[in-house]
Amino acid sequence: MSAAPYPIRITALRARDFRGLRGEFELDFDRGLTLIVGENGAGKSSILNAIEWALFGAEVTKKSSGIDERADFEVRHRSAEGEVSVTLELAVDGGTARLRRARLADAKKTAPDELSLELPNGETLEGDEVRAWMEWNRLPDWSEWKHAFCQHQELLRARVTDAGERSTQLARLLGLGEFQDWTTKLRGLKPGRLKKAATEELERVEEEFKHAIEAPGLALREVEDELEERGVGRTELNDAWLAARLEKQVDEARRLTDKLALALEVPEAKTLELESWSRWSRDWERLAQEGCRGLERELGTLRTRIGELESTLNGMEPARRAFEDAQRAWESETQEHGGKEQLGAQLADLAKERAAQVEREKGRNATVALLRHAVEEMERRATGSDCPVCETPLPELREKLVARVEREGGDDERVAREALHARQAQLERQQATTAERRSALDLAKSNFESLGSRLERFVGAGSDPTRAAEEKRREWMKRVESLETVLDESRRFLESGRDERALLELFGRWRTAGNQTEAAAGDLGRVRAWVELQTAIDEAASLKVDLETLATMARAVQESRSREQVERVNATLGTHTDTISPGAGLRVAVKATATQLKYKLVDASGQDAASILNQAALHAVSFAVLFAQAEARAAEGAPSWVMLDDPGQSLDEERIHGLARVIGSVSEKVSVLVATFPGALEAALRRQPNCRVVELGAARVQAGVVIRSVTEGSNP
Amino acid sequence: MKPASYRRLTEMREQTDKEFGKLVQKLLAIAFLETGVEALVERSIQGIDLEVTIAGKRFAFEVKTCEGDSLTLGKKDLEGLEREIKTGAEAYVAVLAGGLLDEWMILRYTPGEIPPSKSLSTFDLRPYRNRELERRVGDAFEETLEKHAATAIYKRQKGLDSELERYPARELA
């Protein structure tokens, strides 16, 4: 924030029933140095308290005010009724502004004060508007006030003895208090905690999230493991995978549906959901099995017919050859020995010949018997050569008869008979052979013709039934092959289809389990609490980064300005310190760390001085720092005044004089309000130019604070 | 991120090891193409990882994956982004951490605000998030991951390059 256009200062205090200030109380501060003198209980502190309460309200009275003695004090006078108020008149650009804080005397402690500001132009600001106005005009906040505008006894030594406090005060002294405050405040905000808190919160949510999806996640992993065992990795699982598998299944089913001639409509794969496909595929499987059984029956019939056809075809050639052989054999036989008729005729002739021969033989046998009888009679009668019948002598009759017997009774007839017999036997054999050949021929012919008829039954009558049969056989074989292929493909598809269905149904389970997991997880992007948490974390991160950036920037600027300021301030600080406590020879040194700058008090040799300062020196340095700060503020045109509550404690007379001189010097640039007891400091300050002395009366609670006298210093 | 996407990414990370970052980069490129960008250049070797033109505006992305909650941006990465800014592009660092609840963080890069070669907390980078770009590509990335995780694992960069080639908006580096 840029500097206010006018260095605001307090010019008067108007109080009503504030603590010790009973009724209406007024005090002007229009001189550089206002010295309030009074005994214990005269009301000095009430005046200082009133200024602070008007400026900071409850900040002053609460327990965490940082000044124990002022915490929790009552703001009202014990006798107060109605309203308690304090008004500070401020010299501002354009005239006088009136800052007023008020509350009802019997208001509850938690009830807010009424804060208003009347500007010179008549405009009135209230509440936060007043605080904004104060901030804009660089009026201090409570923290800055108690450290850099006001010397409280409690904080006096801490300003030097506490390293942090000392560094803060030195930074203020260097005009870098804001930077120091920023870095301190920013560090105090501990931006790292934001990250830690956010991280912890995210971890907590993640744990809850994990817990929420644990059970469905377990089921999901089981299905995924099962799928992995089937060779499907979890990263492959998606709708595209399913669509591709379904399409493949449906395409194959469609192809086989046509081949199996199934009466089932095949849907488009793209229109199918897993569940509808599963139902459809079961129907298809049932029909396909029936179709396969039909094909098997057809195949069986076809194979039987092919077997018959092949058997017929295979028999045709041998039958033909047998027929031709029989034909040839029969023809050869008949050509050689004549046919059946010729042989019959021969046999008939032979029979006649044999009959004739039998007759001949019978006649010869009778002749031989007669001749033998004649011979025998001739011998018995011893007739010689007489005829036994007629007894007529016939020379050599007997010899002739014997010769005739021998001739007629010889082997000729037997031989002839045997020749005829043999001839008959031969003819009969030839006849049998011919008959056999004929029979064989008939059989072969019949067989051949029977096969031909069978072929005709397969292929119909035609010029070349064998060829037609061959073609038919090829046609059937092709059909068999086709049917076998379809059956084979169908069986394989049925088998693989069952596996595939099981796999895809497993995919369905995976998807269900996945959906359950997702449902358990919820769509975080739509969960308001999650979105809000994300936003909060983003904001926390922004804040952290901003804080760190600001701290870094503040540190960088502070470091840069520190170098410029140190020398200038050291001169003032040295003067004040030496004036109060001669010989201290202190100066400010800057120590830079990675995150902040620390200011130290060092002696002439550059060694840390705070740790070796005695009580008086501590006080001297503390005042010196406070005064130097005030002067630096005044030099910048910022509001600047100093309020000192009994500053003479722990100082010997020499140092009290030194302090008075410094206060006098400072009051030329800065409004100074000093409250003290009557005594050495009072006397020394009275001698300072520009001093107004306000003497308070003795303490009287019922009457409240009483201003006994107001006297101007030597150089108004 | 959906638990399923988280599991896919985890498996991808386990199985692809050093290639994981490049695979994620290509998946992000596909995701951008799926959202209908006008032009996209994806580089696997040198230069800025992704250049995307959306509604006539050029965006340059350095893509990073990390397992924990911190990452490091190399000097060359940042110099590349700065060069893109000089040519009129908006420069971003796209970060995908490996946690169950992690989403894409698309971080606007402003020169000087992110130091190079230094471990950066993803928490600290949150203020630079461009929620609109994250929304634009987040869902698309999960869908892309579902579609192409297997390709990424089994066919690696070449497989994803083939997928990238299918998009007319994809330009060769």
- In chain B, the residue whose alpha carbon lies closest to the alpha carbon of A239 is B147
pLDDT in tens, B43-85: 988 889 999 999 999 999 999 999 888 999 999 999 999 999 9
A631-658 burial by CB neighbour count: b if 16+ within 10 A, else e? Answer: bbbbeeebbbbbbbbbbbeebeeebbbb
Chain segment A457-471, per-residue pLDDT in tens: 888 887 788 888 889
In angstroms, rounded to a whole number, what is the distance separating the alpha carbons of residues A495 and A285? 10
Whether the per-residue pLDDT at B98 is higher than 80: the answer is: yes
Instruction: Tell me the mean pLDDT in the region A519-523.
Output: 80
- Contact between residue A388 and residue A372 where contact means Cβ atoms under 8 Å apart: no
B7/A205 touch (CB, cutoff 8 Å), yes or no: no
Question: Nearest Cβ partner of B11 from A195, A235, A524?
Answer: A235
For A377-404, what is the mean pLDDT? 79
Eight-state DSSP code of residue A2: P
For the ranges A168-182, A577-591, A639-653, B23-37, the lowest mean pLDDT is seen at A168-182
Closest approach of A195 to chain B, Cα-based (Å): 7
Q: Options 3.40.640.10, 3.10.110.10, 3.40.1350.10, 3.40.50.970; which CATH number does B3-165 get?
A: 3.40.1350.10
Residue pair A72/A86 in contact (Cβ under 8 Å)? The answer is no
Report which residue type is found at A505. Answer: E
A669/A647 Cα distance (integer angstroms): 19
Q: Say what the pLDDT of residue A699 is.
A: 60
Whether A170 shows a pLDDT value over 50: the answer reads yes
The string of pLDDT tens digits covering residues A126-165 is 989 998 998 888 888 887 787 778 777 666 666 566 767 7
pLDDT in tens, A303-343: 999 999 999 988 988 999 999 999 998 898 888 888 888 88
Q: Which residues of A touch B (CB under 8 A)?
A: 195, 198-199, 202, 205-206, 209-210, 213, 217, 233-236, 238-241, 514, 517-518, 521, 524-525, 537-538, 541-542, 544-546
CA distance A524 to chain B (A): 8
Q: Please, which pLDDT band fits residue A2 given cuts at 50, 70 and 90?
A: very low
Q: By the 8 A CB rule, do B137 and A209 touch?
A: no
Eight-state DSSP code of residue A612: G
Strand B119-121 relative to strand B70-72: parallel, antiparallel, unpaired? antiparallel
Query: Residue A222's pLDDT band (boundaries 50, 70, 90)?
Result: very high
Chain A residue with minimum CA distance to B103? A525
How does residue A394 score in pLDDT terms, banded at 50, 70 and 90?
confident
Structure tokens at A305: 């017919």
Whether B4 sits inside 8 A of A198 (CB atoms) is no
Residues of B with CB under 8 A from a CB of A: 2-4, 7-8, 11-12, 69, 99-101, 121, 123-127, 129, 138, 146-147, 149-150, 152-153
Query: Distance of alpha carbon A429 from its chain centroid, rounded?
Result: 106
Asked whether residue A481 carries a pLDDT value surpassing 80, the answer given is yes
A402-458 tens-digit pLDDT: 888 887 777 777 788 888 889 889 888 888 888 888 899 999 999 999 988 888 888
At residue B61, the pLDDT reads: 97
Calculate the average pLDDT of chain A: 83
pTM of this prediction? 0.56
Ranked by mean pLDDT, which of A181-185, A417-421, A476-480 comes out on top? A476-480
Look at residue A101 in the predicted model and tell me its pLDDT.
Answer: 93
Share of chain A above pLDDT 90, in %: 18
pLDDT of residue A3: 41
A233/B12 touch (CB, cutoff 8 Å), yes or no: no
pLDDT value for A1: 36
Please list every residue in chain B whose beta carbon sits closer than 8 Å to the beta carbon of residue A241.
Answer: 150
What is the reported pLDDT for A490? 93
Residues A214-231 have a mean pLDDT of 90
- Contact at CB, B3 and A521, closer than 8 angstroms: yes
A10-43 tens-digit pLDDT = 889 998 888 877 788 888 887 888 999 888 877 8
Average pLDDT over every residue of B123-147: 92
Distance of CA A542 to the CA centre of its chain: 27
Nearest to B149 among A206, A210, A235 (CB): A235
Chain A residues with CB-CB distance to B100 below 8 A: 206, 209-210
CA distance A180 to A656: 31
Q: A552 to chain B nearest CA, in Å?
A: 12
Q: Which of A43-52, A607-616, B156-165 has the lowest mean pLDDT?
A: A607-616
Percent of chain A topping pLDDT 70: 92
The partner residue sitting opposite A233, judged by closest CB among B99, B146, B150, is: B150
Q: For chains A and B, count residue pairs whose Cβ atoms are closer than 8 Å.
A: 65
Q: What is the pLDDT of residue A385?
A: 72
Compute the distance between CA of residue A472 and CA of residue A123 in angstroms, rounded to an integer.
Answer: 121
In order of A43, A99, A102, A133, A211, the CA distances from A126 in angstroms are 29, 10, 12, 10, 53
Mean pLDDT of chain B: 92
Express each pLDDT in A640-653 by its tens digit: 788 888 888 778 88
Give the tens place of pLDDT for each residue, A226-279.
Answer: 999 999 888 888 888 888 999 999 999 999 999 888 888 898 888 888 889 889
| A100-132 pLDDT, tens digit each | 999 988 888 788 889 999 999 999 999 899 989
Please answer yes or no on whether B2 and A521 come within 8 Å at the CB atom: yes
Instruction: Taking the CA atoms of A282, A284, A290 and A295 in sequence, report the sign of the dihedral they define.
Output: negative
CA angle A283, A288, A291 (to 5 degrees): 135
Average pLDDT over residues A348-353: 89
When pLDDT is cut at 50, 70 and 90, the band that residue A703 belongs to is low
pLDDT score at A65: 65
- Decide if pLDDT at B171 tops 60: yes
